[in-house]
Structure 1
Amino acid sequence: MAVRTSTKLAAAGLVALAVLAGCAADKPKPASLEPLESQIAGRQIWNTRLSDVTFPLLVTVRAGRFHVAADNGTVVALEAATGREIWRGDAGGRLSAGVGSDGRYAAVVTRDNELVVMDGGSVTWRAKLESPVVTAPLVAGERVFIVGVDRIVHAFDVLDGRRLWTLKRPGDALTLSQAGVLAAYKDTLLVGQGARLLGLDPLKGTVRWDTALTTPRGTNEVERLADLVGPPSRTGSVFCMRSFQNAVGCIDAERGTLKWVQNGGGVEAVGGNDEYVVSADGSDRITARKRASGELAWTSEMLLNRAVSAPVAMGTTVVFGDYEGLLHFMAQDTGKPLLRLPTDGSRVAAPPVLSDSNLLVVTRAGGVFAFRPE
């Protein structure tokens, strides 16, 4: 986990700091897994392989298609039900963020700070950015939206790459080099700015509302680092998310109001459905809270220190990936383990995503797997 800080003396305006989460000399030993007798059925339905995935990947699902990418710049659209490759493109450089897609256009960002937009696998345009990007672009409403690690928001025309507007707001110099919140609700663009969520007019880039999820505390910039971590978990107008190492809470995007917030550490995004918000803290202790109120529902220490991914809710289960590429299916209402499925043995690289009854998982080694619980 890295952070970045701006400085007037740096030509690029940004200097990377090699700060890692959990940098103690002796890391805690991962929890040993007890033998599990499967309580539900599930099977792998297809798999394929790309290059390694070490950047903050967001897998986009649109119209029965999974859009995925790899370090080497490969971007692929796959049919969710069968794994059939629909198209493949090359961004022309190693990636730092991706993939955003509206079902037709796909957008990624390279490590050379270049936004690349594709149509059917062919590059349609490129745009040079002023700072690094680790949050996947959002493609919506014939626009491509970008938020850099400097927290500056940009909007581009998806057809020709014209920059339509830029929003820059004052904030702390130190920022989190981890995927943040960039999402859409009706005609409002949602953007994380530190520990605050902004609701923007996507046509003009003006602020409609500005809501703090939590108030950062600490004696220095590192301790006060509380950027919102994406992707958020949405049910209706309510978006639930994590503030890095600070809290978990929910904001109603219809009104721009805070529903609830609960203190708690952790570095990965949250998941859930209309009943529960589920997340893992810094030691991978799993916590489920009632979505309506934030009231604690259950906790589990089954996956302690197993470097779990952000979760995804699937039916009556919640699914986490871990550092060994294992998928853990747990009952949403109790946390009881129900099923365990393997991938390729490497760490799950992105939050698992759903398309109908198909669950897609991408690993650090570039494995792309689709599962179907039954």
Structure 2
Amino acid sequence: MYSRMMLGTLALATLLGVSGCSLWGGSSKPKPAELGPNVPVLGVRQAWVARTGAVDRLALDVHVNGTTVTLASAQGEVAAIDARTGGDVWRAQLNTPLSAGVGSDGRWAAVVSANAQLIVLDGGREIWRKPLPAQAYTAPLVAGNRVFVLTADRTVVAFDAATGYRLWGQQRTGEPLILRQGGVLMAVGDTLVAGLSGRLVGFNPDNGVVRWEAPLASPRGTNDVERLVEIVGRTSRVGDNLCARAFQATVGCIDAARGAVLWTQPASGNEGVDGDENMVFGTESNGAVVAWQRADGKRAWTSQRLQFRKLTAPLLLGRSVVIGDDTGLVHLLSREDAAPLNRLTTDGSGIAAAPVAAGETLVVVTRKGAVYGFRPE
């Protein structure tokens, strides 16, 4: 099952790279299900296309602030793009390969370099770099004039955004393997929430003190690979109700005000979830798309229409569940029953990150660094 996962060592953690691995067993994945002709039920047009450098193995998180999307390339190009026009708000070349990004609050933007440095920009201009205790694959969080980082040795670190002064750091022990992909690091009210070894953990952002822990999955098995459990991005938040996925184990929701687990359901996926006050949507490792009722976790429907395609985390957008795949297609499925509404094409290199919405524009990024803006007709 994990025959092509890449193993390496960093600090106290062993990194598990999942890019290109077979999640269905054997040396190659089965042939994807035939899609049939595209019959657009929902009119969507390509509004613009922009470009950055190739994404490659960068753990990319496309960040949205209003109508601005901020993203990066594997070789250190960081760009803020106006989703209304596809034009640059600003663009910077850091001249160093990156492992994670981008976090932004609309002013400061933060990325992590491949040599474990946190790099922060102000309005597109680099203002400081600071070394981290270990590599990071989760995009930094920029909030409250601070930059928070989750590193591969499960350390959460806080820096002053303006000066780079380290405010605090907290390290948690866990299983020796982690995923080489983005995890969870987010603000929920006045609590910093991080995904650590199958748990969502709430911290006081001022001093790093733990307020609560909510387990979505527990390590199991007899070896390190079988015992691997991590929370993966993206998440779905409605008020204090926060839903997330534990890699290849469960999907569940918690009350982030109390740190109480509301429900978990078995789920075999490696990408995050999205949803609204009624439903939670996710993609499984075999290409199935699943909808759960947010109230109790019961399955509302399962679709095999995209079976055996490597899918991104979904984006719930109006009546559509939007999902990218590894061939560069973007699928718009009905939120009610997964019926196809439209299918969009890009450059064929694969969608590099979960789709995002900025204003009226659907934005997707490909592995080759093409940035597409789509709008309803």
1:139-160 per-residue CA deviation (whole Å, 9 max, x = no partner) reads 0001000011111110000010
Aligned mate of 1:40, from 15, 39, 42: 42
CA distance in 1, matches of 2:170, 2:376: 43
Instruction: Report the CA distance between 1:24 and its aligned residue.
Output: 2.1
- Paired residue for 1:290, among 286, 290, 293? 293
Contact 1:287-1:300 within 8 A present in 2 as well: yes
Whichever residue aligns with residue 44 of structure 2, its letter is G
Structure 2 counterpart of 1:313, from 310, 313, 316: 316
The equivalent of 2:167 in structure 1 is 164
Contact 2:138 2:183 in 1 (8 A): yes
- For the 8 Å contact 2:229–2:247, the answer to whether it is kept is yes
- 1:2–1:178 Cα contact (<8 Å) kept: no
For 2:44 and 2:367, locate their aligned partners in 1 and report how far apart those are by CA, in whole Å. 22
> Which runs of 5 or more residues in structure 1 are unaligned?
none
Give the drift of 1:63.
2.6
Which of 230, 234, 259 is the matching residue for 1:231? Answer: 234
SS of 1:204's equivalent in the other structure is: coil
Q: 1:35/1:322 Cα in 2 relative to 1: closer, same or farther (>3 Å)?
A: same
1:234 and 1:214 map into 2 onto residues whose CA distance is: 19
Partner secondary structure for residue 40 of structure 1: coil
Q: TM-score, normalised by structure 2?
A: 0.94
Tell me which stretches of 4 or more aligned residues in structure 1 moved more than 4 Å: 1-6, 14-19
Residue identity opposite 2:78 in structure 1: V
Residue 373 (str. 1) matches residue 376 (str. 2): yes
Count of equivalent residues: 370
Q: Counterpart in 2 of 1:348?
A: 351
**Separation in 1 of the partners of 2:213 and 2:122?**
34
TM-score (norm 1): 0.95
Residue number in structure 1 paired with 2:33:
31
Aligned-residue sequence identity (percent) comes to 45
Unaligned runs of 5+ in 2: none
Per the TM alignment, residue 26 of structure 1 is displaced from its structure 2 partner at its CA by 2.9
2:271 aligned residue: 268
**Equivalent AA in structure 2 for residue 99 of structure 1:** V
Is residue 279 of structure 2 the alignment partner of residue 252 of structure 1? no
Q: CA deviation at 1:372?
A: 1.1
Aligned partner (choices 150, 155, 163) of residue 152 of structure 1: 155
Residue 177 of structure 1: how far off its partner (Å): 1.9
Displacement after TM superposition at 1:323 (Å) = 1.4
Q: Secondary structure at the match of 2:164?
A: coil
For residue 133 of structure 1, what is the aligned residue in structure 2?
Answer: 136
Distance, in Å, in 1 between the alignment partners of 2:253 and 2:336 is: 19
Residue 289 of structure 1: how far off its partner (Å): 0.8
**Alpha-carbon contact 2:22-2:28 (below 8 Å) kept:** no
**What is the rounded CA distance, in whole Å, between the counterparts of 1:116 and 1:2 in structure 2?**
28
In the other structure, the counterpart of 1:52 is 54
SS at match of 1:81: coil
Counterpart position of 1:122: 125
Tell me the residue number matched to 1:362.
Answer: 365
The 1-side partners of 2:164 and 2:322 are apart by 38
- Judged with a 3 Å threshold, the aligned counterparts in structure 2 of structure 1 residues 21 and 251 are, in CA distance, closer, same or farther, namely farther
Distance 1:216 1:15 in 2: 15
- Is the 1:3–1:175 Cα contact (8 Å) retained in structure 2? no
Q: CA RMSD in A?
A: 1.6
